[in-house]
Amino acid sequence: MGTRADPAIVDEELETADPVILEVRERQPEANFTEGILYLRIVALNGSGHPWVDFLFELQSILNEPSTFGDGLSFDQIHTPSDFISCDSFARYDRELEPFDRLRFLDGHVDPLKRASFNFLITDFNPKPVFYLLQDPGIPAS
């Protein structure tokens, strides 16, 4: 689990368009992520009542503080572009690697009560037993 062939899957419903934070914990010492690699698939149901017009993920080593250069976390920073990043509802993505670690999916939408599947690789070259993944669905401004 957490490998390219068998990604860790999080199936969730977001009931509002407010940002939420997912706490990611090391399950067992021999888990793949102790190697600093986690393939992740987030399957999110839009229960907010608003369409999502983009979707942002942000890595955090410390809760409510964006990841920094020295913490080792990234969205597959080694590969540019990354063939591990995809989404069935958005046509493209943008990564902001420094000074933050953010991944925004763009050029698409997710209607209320529909699902979006996000796939990406998280690398952590200073493996931590806990880190955080902020999820922030974007809704239309008006």
CATH number of the structural domain spanning residue 58: 2.60.40
Q: Is residue 3 part of a domain?
A: no
Q: Tokens representing 98?
A: 């420094």
Residue 32's pLDDT is 47
Q: Is residue 123 part of a domain?
A: yes
Per the CB < 8 A criterion, the answer to whether 123 and 11 are in contact is: no
What global pTM score does this model have? 0.90
The per-residue pLDDT for range 52-111, each reduced to its tens digit, is 999 999 999 999 998 887 888 888 877 666 778 999 999 999 998 777 899 999 999 999
> 84: domain range?
8-138
Tally the domains of the chain: 1
Cis peptide before 81 (omega within 30 of 0): yes
User: What's phi and psi for 30, nearest 5 deg?
Assistant: -90, 5
Q: Is residue 55 part of a domain?
A: yes
Asked whether the predicted pLDDT for residue 4 surpasses 90, the reply is no
Q: Is residue 2 part of a domain?
A: no
Confidence of residue 33 (pLDDT cuts 50, 70, 90): very low
